[in-house]
Amino acid sequence: MASYTTARKRAENLGASGDGTHHHWTNIVTSVALVVLIPLFVFTFGSILGRPYAEAALALSNPFVALVIGLTLLVGLVHFRHGVQVVLEDYAHGTPRRLMIIAAICATYAILAAGLLAVARLAF
């Protein structure tokens, strides 16, 4: 179909992806946050796993622990959602690509919601 906008006008500021560098920038920001969050999460969660129920539940009700786990799940899964999209864009094409990207994003948000619900229930 003929387009009345020039090729330059369509490409300006947006690049081949159509949304410019926004996707890449989101993963840069989340990766910087995760450099701090991952070590905190590993040692917080790692020291709780293995304890009996009462002790684990008490530890998980601590606001700092809840924040570390909640933030790591939030930022980590948003990072995952963008990363997995790039993989699908590389290896899948056409309608299967779109369907898989939609499925992956929906599944990621479902896992994220379940995790945040659990953290909130344990904290309150």
Partner 1 sequence: MPDIPRGNRPLSPFMIGPHYRLQWTSFSSILTRITGNALIVGTVLIVWWLLAASMGPDAFATADAVLRSWFGDLVLLGSLWALWYHTLAGIRHLVWSTGRFMEIHVAETLGKAIFGGSFVLTILTVLILWLV
Residue 88 in tokens: 């699908």
Q: Which residues bind partner 1 (CB under 8 A)?
A: 1-4, 6-7, 28, 31-32, 34-35, 38, 42-43, 45-47, 49-50, 53, 56-57, 60, 69, 73, 76-77, 80, 83-84, 87, 108, 111, 114-115, 117-119, 121-122
Q: Based on CB atoms, which residue is closest to partner 1, 38 or 92?
A: 38
Angle between helices 63-91 and 53-60 (to 10 degrees): 80
Nearer to partner 1, 19 or 46 (CB): 46
The least CB distance from residue 19 to partner 1, in Å, is: 19
In whole angstroms, give the CA distance from residue 99 to residue 20.
Answer: 22
CA distance 14 to 23: 11
Q: Return the residue matching tokens 């933030």.
A: 71
CB of 59 to partner 1, least distance (A): 10
Which residue number, 6 or 95, has a Cβ lying nearer to partner 1? 6
Q: How far is the CB of 47 from partner 1 (least distance, A)?
A: 6
Nearest of 54, 37, 52 to residue 122 by alpha carbon: 54
What distance, in Å, lies between the first and last C-alpha atoms of the chain? 57
Tell the smallest beta-carbon distance from residue 46 to partner 1 (Å).
4
